[in-house]
Structure 1
Amino acid sequence: MNIAVVGAGYWGPNLARNFRSSDAWNLAAICDLDIERARRVAEAVGGAPVTTQLADVLADPLIDAIAIATPAGTHQRIALAAFDAGKHVMVEKPLASSRAAGSEMVRRAEERGLVLMADHTYCYTPAVLKIRELIADGFLGDILFVDSVRINLGLIQPDVDVFWDLAPHDLSIMDFVLPGGLDVESVAAHGSDPLRTGKSCVGYLAMPLARGAMAHVHVNWLSPTKIRQMVIGGTQRTLVWDDLNPQQRVSVYDRGVDIAEVSKATTTDARSAHISYRLGDTWAPALPEGEALAGVAAEFAAAIRDGRPARTSGDAGLRVLSVLEAAAASLQGSGAPQSMTAPIAA
């Protein structure tokens, strides 16, 4: 199939490179308002037609799909025009600049019978795919908590705060690996702007999940150390994902707390339940090598061929947007928890 990459800035070159190398795709065009930037990307991937005119891309009957790598505020406009032109669409994170805009994108794709895919790249890494598999197989048991940290001395974005910049990665991973997706009951957000930039540079999200579990996300642009880590605790085992440890990205610990069942016939006091600590082995599953974006490109093609939603669909993008908007409302309310509306089905 033929695909055009729209946007040749930060992420567009990575998309162009992976679509160029994919057996499922032919890189038919690179579109950017800066023609020289588009030419540089085209040359870097071995050549491709370049243009500044999105209308020409959308009018080309030979182009089957577009991949959008432009600022979030432009995603809705470009995606809706693409759907009206009969093109399938993949969009880098976040899906849109608001849940309302994302909802309209999902609705239009469904009306046209086209695929809308969120480029939640981390979900296609070998590590996260293994985490999804282990949780789906019940290897961790029932999920009790998720604790995620994404901090570094990073670029302070001019248009979004640290929540919108970094948290979509962690939220999309949770949505991908947890049974039922990102089923959040409420969101409480606390942010800090010590540099007086006008937006939060340090942030914390607390989210009660369905069935009594708890999720917590810490994001930070100001940390001198870089950490990309998620801990997922279950009733049977606990998993640690360390994205910066290439030798052992995923570790599974057979350690935890066991609470023995106490018969109601003998006591009505839950505090009398016997608590024991389980200290078992640690296991690191072998992971295949592979670039995540290659998996993204392959999944986009497979979803189109099979006429099915992508594994990271528009609905997945909406669930992430819902949490981000609730976090923004919580920040405005001095950290007061924001109740979520009915979740979108996974």
Structure 2
Amino acid sequence: MSALGMAVVGCGYWGPNLVRNIVACPQTRLVRACDVDAARLAEVLAPYPGVQACTELAEVLADEQVTAVAIATPVATHHALARECLLAGRHVLVEKPMAATVAQAEDLVALARERSLRLMCDHVFCYAPVVRVMKDIIDAGSLGDVLYFDSVRINLGLFQRDVNVIWDLAPHDLSILEYLTGRQPVAVSVQAARHAGWEQENMAYVALDFDNGFLAHLHLNWLSPVKIRKTIIGGSERMLVWNDLDPAERLKVYDKGVTIQPRPDRAARDTALVSYRTGGVTSPHVPHGEALAGVVAEFAAAVAEKRAPLTDGASGARMLRILEAAQQSVARGGARVPVAGEGA
């Protein structure tokens, strides 16, 4: 397929990574980069003299070589920028979360559908090689029935001014959870706090309820003295541990489990027989590769093949329904809040 002409709008924190990967991808060609800070833009584009710099989105959309736009700006600007690009007939890749509200996300989804354009959310971890390996393990049934998802994503982190720690970090784990299990929560409850004089919540414990006994829990924190990126997925047969900070053995599968066998001759619960199985531990091979490179390649393929990308606009809208319910739970002191369905 011919290279997809692209522009990057926003060259602050994440934009330079998009610039680098779009330039490196054989299926894409970076035509322009746009940022309101001309000095920052010049710094980012210094290694790429063939890319045109501009400070106005209008310049991007006036360039007929630009077929698609990647947006990496503050969350509050996503909807307006993405909408303008879609109205101008451009395919759109937008950083997570896709918009500031569910209504905004649904508006973008409807507009992209109406104009037969690709709308993709940069749920980057869905394209990480280690997550792809985890998906293969789960789909093969190696874990048995998947029972729970437990994630810790903490460090003395970058304090965001436009969103709190839930909106900043939870999208990573929520997108991974949906990709791996295909499940959607029915309710969410959140305990969160603001510390260090910050106006946004900077630590949170997010509990997700599902309608089949499956549970998920996310620990999110910008105030931890140590950096931890660990996910445990428990199954009826085996359990999987992903430690993203252990390059030698990033992924481990434990052949461990519990079987509870009630004794038919005794009614009391304390007479049940609990059997523990402790087997070996394996560390599956995880191929090298940058997740964002997978995002860019998938976006280009979706445009060329005229199909929905893996993490399309609808998946971005589903995530926002969870985030809005989570924020309502915070406002209500940790109350359990139902997650709204599509069109609610």
**TM over 0.5: same fold?**
yes
Change over 3 Å in CA distance of 1:254–1:343 after alignment to 2: farther
What secondary structure is seen at the aligned counterpart in 1 of 2:212?
helix
Structure 1 distance, partners of 2:56, 2:230, is 41
Report the alpha carbon displacement of residue 273 of structure 1 after superposing the two structures with TM: 5.0
Residue matched to 1:278: 277
Distance 1:202 1:61, change over 3 A: same
1:20-42 superposed Cα distances (whole Å, 9 cap, x missing partner)? 01100110100111222222211
Counterpart in 2 of 1:22? 25
1:260 shift after superposition: 4.0
Matched, 1:299 2:306: no
Name the CA shift for 1:71/1:256 in 2 (closer, same or farther; >3 Å): same
- Equivalent residue number for residue 116 of structure 1: 119
Distance in 2 between the 1:206 and 1:293 partners? Answer: 28
Cα offset for 1:259? 2.9
Contact 1:16 1:45 in 2 (8 A): no
Deviation at 1:288, TM superposition (A): 0.8
Report the CA distance between 1:291 and its aligned residue: 1.0
Within 1, Cα distance between the matches of 2:236 and 2:15?
A: 41
- 1:250 is matched with 251
Structure 2, unaligned runs of 5 or more: none
1:152/1:224 contact within 8 Å kept: yes
- Number of corresponding residues: 340
Q: What's 2:203 paired with?
A: 202
- Alpha carbons 1:151, 1:220 under 8 Å: kept: yes
343 and 255 in structure 1: CA distance in 2 versus 1, 3 angstrom threshold: farther
2:84 is equivalent to residue 91 of structure 1: no
CA contact (8 A) 2:74 2:162 kept: no
| Higher mean C-alpha deviation, range 273-282 or range 20-29 | 273-282
Give the whole-Å Cα distance in 1 for the aligned partners of 2:269 and 2:309: 45
Residues 56-67 of structure 1 aligned to structure 2 (within 5 Å) = 56-67=59-70
Shift of the alpha carbon at 1:100?
A: 1.2
By how many angstroms is 1:295 displaced?
0.7
Which residue in 2 is equivalent to 1:288?
287
TM-score when scaled to structure 2?
0.94
CA pair 74-340 structure 1, distance change in 2 beyond 3 A: same
After TM superposition, list the pairs within 5 Å mapping 1:97-246 onto structure 2.
97-178=100-181, 180-181=182-183, 183-246=184-247
CA RMSD of aligned residues (A): 1.8
**In percent, how many aligned pairs have the same letter?**
45
1:166-200 alpha-carbon deviations (Å, 9 max, x no partner): 1111111111111x24x101100011123232221
In structure 2, relative to structure 1, the CA distance for the partners of 1:271 and 1:209 (3 Å cut) is farther
Residue identity matched to 1:177: L
Are positions 1:8 and 2:7 aligned together?
Answer: no
| Unmatched tracts of structure 1, length 5 or more | none
**TM-score (norm: length of structure 1):** 0.94
- Aligned-partner residue type, residue 88 of structure 2: A
